[in-house]
Each structure stands twice: as C-alpha cells, then as structure tokens.
A and B are shown apart, each in its own frame.
Chain A
Amino acid sequence: AQTVTQSQPEMSVQEAETVTLSCTYDTSESDYYLFWYKQPPSRQMILVIRQEAYKQQNATENRFSVNFQKAAKSFSLKISDSQLGDAAMYFCAPRYSGGGADGLTFGKGTHLIIQP
C-alpha cells in the first residue's frame, strides 16, 4: 500500500512570513504526480500546486512552491508572504499513473494557522 506522511499536524506562522509544510511518501512507482490540496473551513478541496515526478524543476505557482526530492521521496510545500486566506488544512497527495484510474492517496493533513 502507498503511504503518505505529513509529520506536522499543525503549523503556525505570522502573516507575511514564509512557512514550509513537509510531506514524504512511499512508492515503488517511477512515474507519478504529486499534488498539494488546500481545504479551508468550507471543506472544499482546492488544488494548490502539482509536480510531475519526471521533472527535475520544482513547480511554482505565485506564492506557492515545492521542494521535490525524488530520491528522498519528499515533497514539501513552501508558502511565501503568508496571507490570512491561506489558513486551511493542507493535504499532500501523490497520484500513481500505473495505467488504471487510480485516484489520489492523501496524507493526514497539516492545519496551517496564520497569525495576524
């Protein structure tokens, strides 16, 4: 079974500061995709950023960037210039492209608190 570990149940950061959320995963697949989803209090699941495992370049999306270390199976999310609207649960989710309609495997999530 594929496992996803988010070792920080909760993180707190001052507004405008930078925070990094960690994620490690375990897979024997060589081709896969990695996603970070955000779940605000509304509980809607919102895609934050995605990374293809075959790409060495780390993905960035405005204030959000990842540090993808394939050999270490690590996929951390960095949020720069944190804003109050970033407060949410953040889930790391690999997706393995083994040919079937496999979905996402979610970690337990990190609750991000933004201090004004």
Chain B
Amino acid sequence: EPEVTQTPSHQVTQMGQEVILRCVPISNHLYFYWYRQILGQKVEFLVSFYNNEISEKSEIFDDQFSVERPDGSNFTLKIRSTKLEDSAMYFCASSSGTGTYLNFGPGTRLTVL
C-alpha cells in the first residue's frame, strides 16, 4: 500500500537557523497538508496546499513558514528562522479528495536548541 514518507525522521537545529522538512505524498494525491504536534498536545493544522498554491493556513503559519512543491513528488515545509517553540513533531499528510481521509507520514521530530 502506498505511503507518505518524510525526511529526516529527526532534525536538531540551533535557534535562528533555517530548516526544511521534506515529504513525498502518495503519488496520485492532489491535496497536501502540514500539521504539527507539540509533545503531549493535540495535533494542530498548519497549512493545506492544492493546485500549487496554499488553500488554507492557520494563525500558526506565519511569515516564518513557507511551503513548496518543487517538483512532481516532493512537498516541503521551510521554517526560516527557528524558535525554541517550534520544537514539535511535524506531520505531512495527503489525500485524494476533499471528502476522503488523510494519509499521514511518520513525522519529523524537530528539536530547536
């Protein structure tokens, strides 16, 4: 069964550094998402992406964040200048339609020191 993949599984960075989290969604899916989960808290929506543009974003997704689909397979989340509070698990997800479930990747654990 096709899966969403994410790299790296764990990223450690210094505060103020830029990080890029990578995702390969399921190949025939059209809708892509990033979520984050601070340890012990609920899963929070960051952004959705469709037809090469952002469809919706939450208030968490400020100017420090950006997303890109640089080619036909990858979907990336960039955090321009990381803060301590950006430490969390970041999940990529994709779906084939607006009414279907989301397939989640295994997550990237981001630690900002």
Contacts and interface: CB of A to CB of B under 8 A. Distances in A.
A100 B98 contact: yes
Interface stretch (A42-50, A64-72, A80-88): A42-50
Interface in B46-105: 48-50, 55-56, 89, 91, 93, 98-104
Interface residues of A, number: 25
Contacts, number: 65
Contacts of B50: 101
A102 B48 contact: yes
A103 B41 CA distance: 18
Contacts of A37: 104
Interface magnitude class on chain B: 20 to 34
Contacts of A57: none
Contacts of B56: 100-103
Contacts of B49: 101
Given A47-B101, A97-B99, 8 more contacts: A43-B106, A43-B107, A45-B107, A50-B101, A99-B98, A103-B33, A103-B48, A103-B102
A43 B44 CA distance: 14
Given A103-B56, A107-B42, A44 B98 contact: no
Given A45-B104, A103-B35, A103-B56, A91 B43 contact: yes
A25 interface: no
A9 to B, nearest CB: 11
B91 A101 contact: no
Interface string A73-116: 00000000000000000010001010111111111110000000
Given A101-B31, A102-B48, A103-B93, A45 B98 contact: no
16 contacts: A33-B101, A35-B101, A43-B106, A44-B104, A44-B106, A45-B104, A45-B107, A95-B101, A99-B98, A101-B31, A101-B50, A102-B55, A102-B98, A103-B48, A103-B56, A109-B42
Nearest to B37: A43
Contacts of B98: 95, 97, 99-102
Contacts of A91: 42-43
